[in-house]
Amino acid sequence: MSLGPVLSPDPVPVRLTAAGAPAQLRQPQGWVRVAQVLDRWVVETGWWRAAPGEPIRRTTWRVLLADARCCELTETGGRWALTRPWG
């Protein structure tokens, strides 16, 4: 199983807080506010194969949106993707 960079079919623009957490994400109807961060985790892989200082690092955020939907946003190398929407 490969854990390469996540290149979701649903890339999404994300606005961040000063602390680097997702604050809003762009949806077809416009910008939707992140009401609450429910969870956050980091997966770092390939450190044994990658060039020094360049492992594959992926951060996933489970968030509750202001419109009551829950989703997971994944950031890899500065690119964001909507990897798991609910509702």
pLDDT of residue 86: 77
Domains in the chain: boundaries: 14-86
pLDDT of residue 39: 97
Q: What is the pTM of this model?
A: 0.79
pLDDT of residue 1: 37
Q: How far apart (Å, rounded) are the C-alpha atoms in residues 77 and 42?
A: 12
Residue owning tokens 């044994």: 48
pLDDT of residue 6: 43
pLDDT digits (tens, 9 = 90+) for 9-32: 578 999 999 999 999 999 989 999
Q: How far apart (Å, rounded) are the C-alpha atoms in residues 22 and 59?
A: 11
pLDDT digits (tens, 9 = 90+) for 42-76: 998 776 666 666 667 899 999 999 999 999 999 98
Q: How far apart (Å, rounded) are the C-alpha atoms in residues 83 and 48?
A: 26
